[in-house]
């Protein structure tokens, strides 16, 4: 893996003094993460570039003490992340601390810098580096989560190194070693003077500390002291979501079903029965039918519902039926409501007209509820690689406009009215993570 830093501050070769590495010599250092080579591809008074090249043995990495890796073939030796920052901190430790006995004034001076990292997970690069004064340019590598990131700014060399030390593993979202309490001290030392004021300090802290809640709490408490954050604001930042998005979806669906006074409910594409288990807890739903094309999924639903052990009164309310949603099934007609919760995105687009016919023409319930991911919200999930759907089986994911276009067309063709409800925390620009369409038949008196 490679990282370069360039300056045009004249004489540019003074960069060697700041880094304590002479431009005329290539040097190699054995670090805990591999062999680090420092050399200068260009060194003139007008422009000077230093390169840090880290060579990692993948086999030794997997076998090493404290390694969290379980396979020899992985991206750790090639993608910039915690391995590179270990080398960065080892090779340039004095520079990172801002010390230069020969040029103390220059060490305290912001100079023009260009940092390039050719292979790094780049989805959060703009969000994390821009508030620190960097202009961020990204060249993607096809559909890969990795990209070529170039940072341009006027900063102290020590600040630039500390930004990289903290944020490269944050971009990567993982570490190659066990994260212990001393990582909090490392984070706060490298983040001194900038992390407390960063608008995404909670995100940075959480990802840097591998989502270990006690360490995150400790770090944010200490940052709060620096930043004089009110205690209640800190509590809000640390609070776990009280209800998961999956639970919010089920609650929203059940709320609408109750509002429309549905008694007999179809769960179309019921899978392992997550919604069925919630529906059966509500006595007003007197007849519940779970439908799925997969016999294995229906067996799992029956097991989780404990149909072999529940009282007869409960068992009589539930029916499981194997059927494909893209084929007409007259047995599904006559229900008050049908729910397709996170189902349509699993259907090939060419088969959506068939699904429309089977649900809205053949089954034709009074109310139809359809929930599906809002793809516009995806960039706000910090663990979801850019451009990747939320599930590997999703055939597509719609924007809010695309969902409204499809749902509006169905409603117009099939004699329904439709309204839209957001599910989950709403972002001002991107909307909510889940979108729901509520179709109501115009034939209802």
Residues of the chain below pLDDT 70 = 57-78, 174-178, 225-243, 382-383, 385, 444-445
Buried b (16+ CB within 10 A) or exposed e, 383-408: eeebeeebeeebebbbebebbeebbe
Please enumerate in sequence order all residues whose Cβ is within 8 A of that of 77, keeping only pairs 6 or more positions apart, or say none.
1, 34, 55, 56, 57, 58, 61, 83
Return the structure tokens found at 110: 């912001």
Query: 48-55 and 2-7 as β-strands: parallel, antiparallel, unpaired?
Result: antiparallel
How far apart (Å, rounded) are the C-alpha atoms in residues 163 and 135? Answer: 14
Four-point Cα dihedral 181, 183, 189, 192, nearest 10: -100
Contact in structure between 439 and 410 (CB atoms under 8 Å): yes
How far apart (Å, rounded) are the C-alpha atoms in residues 146 and 118? Answer: 9
Per-residue DSSP letters for 362-417? Answer: II--SEEEEEEEBGGGGGG-TTS-TT--SSTT-S--B-HHHHHHHHHHHHHHHTEE
User: What pLDDT, in 10s, does the model give residues 235-245?
Assistant: 444 444 456 78
| Inter-axis angle of helices 201-208 and 213-227, nearest 10 | 140
Please enumerate in sequence order all residues whose Cβ is within 8 A of that of 129, keeping only pairs 6 or more positions apart, or say none.
136, 151, 163, 167
What is the structure's pLDDT at 228? 45
Phi, psi of 364 (to 5 degrees): 45, 60
How far apart (Å, rounded) are the C-alpha atoms in residues 42 and 49? Answer: 5
Q: Under DSSP, is residue 185 helix (H, G, I), strand (E, B) or coil?
A: helix
Q: What is the DSSP letter of 239?
A: P
Return the structure tokens found at 56: 């990692």
Contact in structure between 46 and 129 (CB atoms under 8 Å): no
What is the structure's pLDDT at 159? 95
Q: Give the DSSP H or E segment for 297.
A: helix 295-305
What is the structure's pLDDT at 117? 93
User: What pLDDT, in 10s, does the model give residues 213-236?
Assistant: 888 888 888 887 655 444 444 344
How far apart (Å, rounded) are the C-alpha atoms in residues 413 and 178? Answer: 58
Q: What is the DSSP letter of 7?
A: E
Please enumerate in sequence order all residues whose Cβ is within 8 A of that of 134, keeping only pairs 6 or more positions apart, or say none.
151, 152, 153, 155, 163
How far apart (Å, rounded) are the C-alpha atoms in residues 416 and 439? Answer: 6
């Amino acid at each position: 893996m490679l990282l370069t830093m360039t300056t045009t501050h004249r004489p540019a070769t003074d960069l060697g003094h700041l880094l304590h590495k002479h431009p005329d010599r290539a040097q190699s250092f054995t670090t805990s993460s591999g062999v680090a080579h420092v050399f200068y591809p260009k060194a003139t008074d007008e422009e000077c570039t230093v390169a840090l090249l880290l060579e990692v043995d993948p086999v030794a990495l997997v076998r090493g003490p404290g390694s969290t890796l379980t396979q020899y073939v992985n991206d750790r030796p090639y993608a910039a992340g915690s391995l590179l920052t270990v080398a960065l901190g080892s090779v340039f430790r004095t520079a990172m601390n801002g010390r230069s006995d020969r040029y103390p004034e220059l060490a305290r001076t912001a100079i023009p810098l260009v940092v390039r990292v050719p292979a790094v997970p780049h989805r959060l690069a703009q969000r994390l580096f821009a508030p620190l004064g960097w202009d961020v340019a990204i060249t993607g590598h096809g559909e890969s989560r990795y990209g070529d990131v170039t940072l341009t700014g006027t900063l102290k060399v020590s600040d630039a190194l500390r930004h990289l030390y903290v944020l490269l593993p944050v971009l990567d979202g993982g570490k190659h070693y066990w994260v212990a309490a001393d990582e909090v001290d490392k984070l706060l030392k490298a983040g001194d003077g900038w992390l407390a004021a960063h608008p995404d300090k909670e995100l940075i802290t959480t990802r840097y500390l591998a989502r270990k809640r006690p360490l995150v709490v400790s770090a944010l408490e200490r940052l709060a002291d620096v930043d004089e954050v009110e205690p209640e604001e800190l509590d809000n930042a640390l609070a776990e979501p009280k209800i998961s998005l999956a639970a919010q979806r089920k609650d929203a669906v059940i709320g609408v079903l109750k509002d429309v006074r549905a008694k007999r409910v179809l769960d179309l594409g019921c899978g392992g029965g997550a919604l069925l288990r919630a529906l059966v807890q509500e006595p007003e739903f007197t007849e519940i039918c779970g439908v799925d094309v997969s016999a294995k999924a229906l067996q799992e639903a029956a097991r989780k519902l404990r149909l072999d052990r529940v009282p007869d009164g409960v068992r009589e309310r539930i029916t499981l039926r194997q059927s494909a949603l893209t084929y007409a099934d007259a047995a599904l007609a006559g229900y008050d409501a049908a729910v397709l919760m996170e189902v349509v995105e699993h259907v090939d687009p060419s088969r959506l007209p068939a699904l429309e016919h089977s649900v809205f023409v053949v089954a034709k319930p009074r109310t139809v509820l359809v929930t599906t991911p809002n793809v516009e919200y995806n960039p706000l999930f910090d663990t979801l690689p850019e451009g990747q759907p939320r599930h590997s089986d999703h055939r597509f994911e719609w924007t809010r406009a695309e969902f409204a276009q499809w749902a509006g067309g169905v409603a117009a063709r099939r004699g329904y009215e439709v309204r839209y409800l957001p599910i989950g925390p709403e972002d001002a620009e991107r909307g909510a993570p889940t979108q729901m369409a509520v179709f109501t038949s115009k034939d209802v008196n």
